[in-house]
Amino acid sequence: MCAARLVEAGHEVVVVDDLSTGHADAIPDGCKFIQADIAAAASGLLAESFEGVLHFAAKSLVGESMQDPQKYWQGNVVTSLRLLDAMREHGTRRLVFSSTAATYGEPAVTPITEDTATRPTNTYGATKLAIDHAITSYADAHGIGAVSLRYFNVAGAHGAFGERHTVETHLIPIVLQVALGQREQVQIFGEDWPTADGTCIRDYIHVTDLADAHLLALANAAPGRHRIYNLGNGTGFSVRQVIDTCRKVTGHPIPANVAPRRAGDPATLVASSQRAREELGWAPERADLEVIVRDAWDFTRLRQES
């Protein structure tokens, strides 16, 4: 999605992916593609001169990160250090990094600003925070212009670009699988949370708005500075509200039952993106949950037909 936006904006784009979880057919036309492990390939690749690096690659399943931390410290932190070293070695000037709301853990404040204390509650969030710290040091010492974007709940789709996981764990794709008849029902992980309807509240952000933020971040990265921005819409929706919106958009009854809480889930995560709006000039265009769900639904049906 981001690669497509970069190509549209006139950039020359090289996509590097080992395809361990990605899909070759999601690489847009107009990009050069190299199938490789970043840790092994970074130094050789960056020897050609690049304007910047957008670093998305990561292991990103919270549950797995608790059971197999080595995969996360190695795959996320060690790999990112190799990339930072390659950038230093070859003088690559700009970095945009995919950070996460999971760096904050379970803050008592809402909405969450970039000044909120970072106390990750899982290994995934801890590795992403460690990388953020490393980026701060490298930016400071080596003059790299870096931006970390802390994603809240990314959803929606754009044409053929949408969420496709071998094992789906995210709420909206799961609910839409029920609407398609691929699952019997959706499980609501707890309705005894301290929220208005008892289910967890999250801040859903459309993938195209997220992609736009990356282009703005790349353009705004300033030498020797590491800026961090939260990306969300500033409005929280409960699990029940998400399911109701999916019922409305799909016209399907979507049976739901209440299951126990999922370990590690915070009750409420809502972003303040004031800083991104002010400093990057970011203005999300698809903030409406119904629009986000409708785009995801169009993508889900498109996939089923193909």
The answer to whether 35 contacts ligand UDP (rule: CB under 6 A) is no
Name the residue whose CB lies closest to ligand UDP: 200
Residues 6+ apart with CB under 8 A from 107: 116, 117, 119, 266
- Cα separation, 114 vs 216, in Å, equals 18
Residues 6+ apart with CB under 8 A from 120: 102, 103, 104, 105, 126, 128, 129
User: What SS3 class is residue 6?
Assistant: helix
Considering only residues 239, 246, 276, 289, which one is a binding residue for ligand UDP as defined by CB under 6 A? 239
Q: Least distance from C-beta 200 to ligand UDP, angstroms? A: 3
Interaction pattern, residues 157-186, with ligand UDP; x per rule: CB under 6 A: ------------xxx--x-----------x
Of 22 and 198, which CB lies nearer to ligand UDP in the complex structure?
Answer: 198
Q: Are 213 and 175 in contact (CB under 8 A)?
A: no
Would you state the structure tokens that stand for residue 230, as one six-digit string?
């939260």
- Does residue 124 have an active-site annotation? yes
Of 28 and 105, which CB lies nearer to ligand UDP in the complex structure?
Answer: 105
Strands 237-238, 201-202: parallel, antiparallel or unpaired by DSSP? antiparallel
**What residues are paired with 154 via a beta bridge?**
205
Amino acid at 258: V
Of 138 and 237, which CB lies nearer to ligand UDP in the complex structure?
Answer: 237
Of 138 and 229, which CB lies nearer to ligand UDP in the complex structure?
Answer: 229
Interaction pattern, residues 257-286, with ligand UDP; x per rule: CB under 6 A: -----x--x---------------------
Residues at the site binding ligand UDP, with contacts judged by CB under 6 A: 153, 169-171, 174, 186-189, 200, 202, 239, 262, 265
Residues annotated as catalytic (active site), given as ranges: 124
